[in-house]
Structure formats: C-alpha cells, structure tokens
Amino acid sequence: MEQVESGEAYIIWLSDFNRHHPVWDSLDDHRLFTNEALEVAEKLIGAVADTGLELALPNGTPTHEHSVTKR
C-alpha cells in the first residue's frame, strides 16, 4: 500500500483471478455462470467488499476476445 501526499492510500490487487460472475461479465454469457464459478467468485467479491475496494472496470467491459467465436 502506498501513501500519497494527500494522506489517501491506494491498493491495487493484480492477478489472473479468471472468475466469471454477472457483476463483471456480460449477462449474455450466462453459460459461464455455473454454480461452482459463482461460489468461487463470491469469495472474491466478499474480499473486495470487506476491504472497501471497488472494481476498476465496469460490467461488460471486454478483456479477452476468443480467437474462434470472437466473443
């Protein structure tokens, strides 16, 4: 965590979380929202909420394009 002159602290979590959830995936990709995927993603959502963090990308922002389906 880095302290800036204004006294505000910034935290960045970087990882390949590779979790699917309607909070950040397109709702059209409902096939990704298996019970297992949702349960694991809920742990990440809980950790984010517990620390007061926010997601940097709005829901539905594409971060990967499949080479075949182009989705």
Is residue 41 classed exposed, middle or buried when 0-12, 13-18 and 19+ CB atoms within 10 A define those classes? Answer: buried
In a domain? residue 10 = no
pLDDT band at 9 (very low <50, low <70, confident <90, very high): confident
DSSP H helices, 1-71, are 35-51
CA distance 32 to 40: 13
Give the per-residue pLDDT at 35.
Answer: 92
* Of 34, 51, 3, 40, nearest in space to 18 by CA: 40
In a domain? residue 49 = yes
Is residue 8 classed exposed, middle or buried when 0-12, 13-18 and 19+ CB atoms within 10 A define those classes? Answer: exposed
| High-pLDDT (> 70) share of the chain, % | 90
In a domain? residue 2 = no
Domain that includes residue 39, residue range: 17-62
Residues 18-31 pLDDT 10s: 788 888 777 887 88
pLDDT band at 65 (very low <50, low <70, confident <90, very high): confident
More confident residue, 60 or 39: 39
